[in-house]
């Protein structure tokens, strides 16, 4: 079903890391996995990228990329002081949430953040204003936190971009029942890709005999799709990263979707392994044409290398293309060919 797979934020982050690998000496370091997909991370490891969870593990003067999930200000400052070159590949939609937390906290609000504990995106957001921001996992948790805070001042609610739509709605309803004056953003914090994929899946999950969600266990938006399929009435829902993880005996109509960090090649491999007897029907609920630019400092480096004639022909051709004209899989193919010489 479509839409599925890479969203604009993931496309941009993966492309950014690919260009850094192409331009800078190895090894390139990345704070956390660039996106939460094992297949993508493994591909970058083969290109010499070192993923770390602590800035202290990055050698002084090294090239460092910050992941798509967003970085707390204190960590970003530490990274800037340590790295020789720092590229922030944060998704602009995550930046929107960071800005909301910062502005509301400075205005005296207590901020509730609807998100998943331990996720890289949550960790970055909670570090914006840690003294005034509180993680809430669900509606019951929100009620408990409000009681514990006993806050009389203004209250705001923001959310992780990859939550299930209904989860955030339940949290918002629970908070408004206690605090009708609660502030919430006029435009939802949920990523457009998160909501599009959940809505598309909801349209077909109830009539499917099974749903296969392609994506890694660490991916929050993938986990949200698994929950959505179950809530929509599908009795057999499985998450797989690779085709060899498919369970035996899937029969009838099998719907296949993918998290926003799963590459299209992973979906194709899963569909091939399923070997559908009656063929494949693509169910398209809507088109997506969102595009985000590469980080400014990286765009400048690519342009400079192109102008100086410092790029191999295949990379020079890729650099001349308009955004969206080459998929990240295709860009990584080019980078890998150049790396092999």
pLDDT digits (tens, 9 = 90+) for 62-113: 999 999 999 999 999 999 999 999 999 999 999 999 999 999 999 999 999 9
pLDDT number for residue 288: 76
Q: If you average pLDDT over residues 320-340, what whole number do you get?
A: 89
d(CA 149, CA 145) in angstroms, rounded, equals: 6
Instruction: Identify the helix (H) or strand (E) that includes residue 9.
Output: helix 8-23
d(CA 282, CA 224) in angstroms, rounded, equals: 21
Q: Are strands 63-66 and 85-88 parallel, antiparallel or unpaired?
A: parallel
Q: Is the per-residue pLDDT at 328 higher than 70?
A: yes
CA 46 to chain centre: 21
pLDDT number for residue 77: 98
Q: Is 182 left (phi over 0), alpha (psi -120 to 50) or beta?
A: beta
Q: Give 162's contacts (C-beta < 8 A, 6+ positions apart).
A: 121, 190, 191, 194, 219, 220, 221, 224, 260
Q: If you average pLDDT over residues 277-301, what whole number do you get?
A: 84
Report the mean per-residue pLDDT for the chain: 93
The percent of residues in the chain predicted with pLDDT above 70, rounded, is 99
**Residues with active-site annotation:** 121
pLDDT number for residue 286: 73
pLDDT bracket for residue 151 (50, 70, 90): low
Q: If you average pLDDT over residues 292-317, what whole number do you get?
A: 96
pLDDT number for residue 285: 72
Residue 340's alpha-carbon distances to 47, 327, 336, in angstroms, are: 10, 20, 6
d(CA 109, CA 96) in angstroms, rounded, equals: 17
pLDDT number for residue 305: 97
pLDDT bracket for residue 310 (50, 70, 90): very high
pLDDT number for residue 1: 67
pLDDT digits (tens, 9 = 90+) for 4-30: 778 999 999 999 999 999 999 999 999
pLDDT number for residue 51: 98
Q: Which two tokens stand for residue 38?
A: 């094992």
Identify the residue with better confidence: 272 or 323: 272
pLDDT digits (tens, 9 = 90+) for 168-196: 999 999 999 999 999 999 999 999 988 99
pLDDT digits (tens, 9 = 90+) for 86-98: 999 999 999 999 9
- Read off φ and ψ for residue 85, nearest 5 degrees: -135, 130
Q: If you average pLDDT over residues 290-310, what whole number do you get?
A: 95
Q: Set out the domains of the chain in order of their start, with CATH numbers.
A: 8-91+291-340 (3.40.50.11270), 93-178 (3.40.1010.20), 192-274 (3.40.1010.20)
Residue 195's alpha-carbon distances to 65, 68, 125, 139, in angstroms, are: 27, 18, 20, 19
């Amino acid at each position: 079903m479509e839409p599925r797979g890479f969203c604009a934020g993931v496309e941009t982050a993966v492309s950014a890391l690919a260009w850094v690998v192409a331009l800078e000496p190895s090894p390139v370091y990345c704070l956390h996995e660039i996106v939460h997909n094992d297949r993508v991370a493994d591909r970058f490891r083969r290109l010499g990228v070192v993923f770390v969870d602590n800035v202290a593990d990055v050698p002084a003067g090294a090239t460092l990329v910050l992941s798509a999930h967003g970085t707390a200000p204190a960590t970003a400052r530490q990274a800037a002081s340590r790295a020789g070159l720092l590229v922030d590949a944060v998704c602009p939609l995550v930046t929107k949430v960071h800005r909301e937390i910062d502005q509301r906290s400075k205005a005296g609000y207590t901020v509730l953040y609807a998100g998943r504990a331990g996720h890289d995106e949550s960790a970055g957001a909670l570090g914006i204003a840690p003294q005034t921001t509180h993680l809430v996992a669900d509606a019951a948790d929100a009620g408990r936190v409000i009681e514990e805070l006993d806050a009389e001042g203004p209250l705001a609610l923001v959310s992780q971009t990859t939550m299930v739509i209904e989860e955030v709605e339940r949290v918002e309803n629970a908070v408004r029942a206690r605090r009708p004056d609660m502030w919430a953003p006029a435009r939802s914090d949920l990523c457009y890709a998160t909501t599009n994929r959940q809505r598309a899946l909801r349209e077909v999950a109830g009539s499917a005999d099974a749903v296969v969600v392609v994506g890694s266990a660490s991916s929050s938006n993938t986990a949200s799709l698994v929950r959505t399929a179950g809530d929509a009435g599908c009795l057999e829902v499985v998450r797989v990263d690779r085709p060899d993880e498919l369970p035996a005996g899937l029969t009838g109509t099998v719907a296949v979707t993918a998290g926003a960090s799963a590459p299209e090649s992973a979906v194709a491999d899963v569909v091939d392994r399923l070997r559908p007897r009656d063929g494949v029907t693509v169910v398209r609920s809507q088109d997506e044409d969102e595009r985000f630019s590469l980080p400014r400092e990286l765009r400048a480096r690519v342009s400079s290398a192109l102008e100086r004639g410092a790029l191999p022909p295949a990379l020079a051709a890729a650099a001349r293309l308009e955004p969206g004209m080459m998929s990240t899989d295709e860009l990584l193919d080019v980078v890998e060919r150049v790396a092999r010489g």
